[in-house]
Amino acid sequence: MTAQVTFVPDEKQIQARPGTTLLDAARRARVHIRTRCGGKAACLMCKVQVADGGEAGLVPMNDAERNKLGSLEEQGYRLSCQAKLNGKASMTVTIPEDPLKSAIRRQLEQQKEEDWL
């Protein structure tokens, strides 16, 4: 039994076995998720938002993940290094925009607006 995981915004899909973390599935699909702590639920960099069947397709949160996420849990966030597939459902996983890319995008948009003036 495998689960289908779709990573957005990359729109890459992968079939993964139960017990596989979302971080490992993303790496196999060649989708980059930032991380610094080596999968110890310490850095919060690998957070992803899970939708479309995610809760049914993932093992429930452990205490370390719940403590780290805090109120983000209510918005459907999970730590990709801790969230393990249970193989029961397909899901869509949204990877938040990298903060550096976001800052560059905002600067480019601002520059574009200034050029129009």
The range of the structural domain enclosing residue 26 comes to 3-116
pLDDT band at 23 (very low <50, low <70, confident <90, very high): very high
> How many domains does the chain contain in total?
1
Q: Is the pLDDT of residue 53 over 70?
A: no
Sheet hosting strand 12-16, strand order edge to edge: 12-16, 3-8, 91-94, 47-51, 77-79
Query: Mean pLDDT score of the chain, rounded to an integer?
Result: 89
Q: Please give the angle made by the CA atoms of 62, 13 and 11, to the nearest 5 degrees.
A: 105
Q: Tell me, what CATH number does 12's domain have? A: 3.10.20.30
- The one-character DSSP state at 59 is P
43 pLDDT more than 90: no
pLDDT-based confidence at residue 30 (cuts at 50, 70, 90):
very high
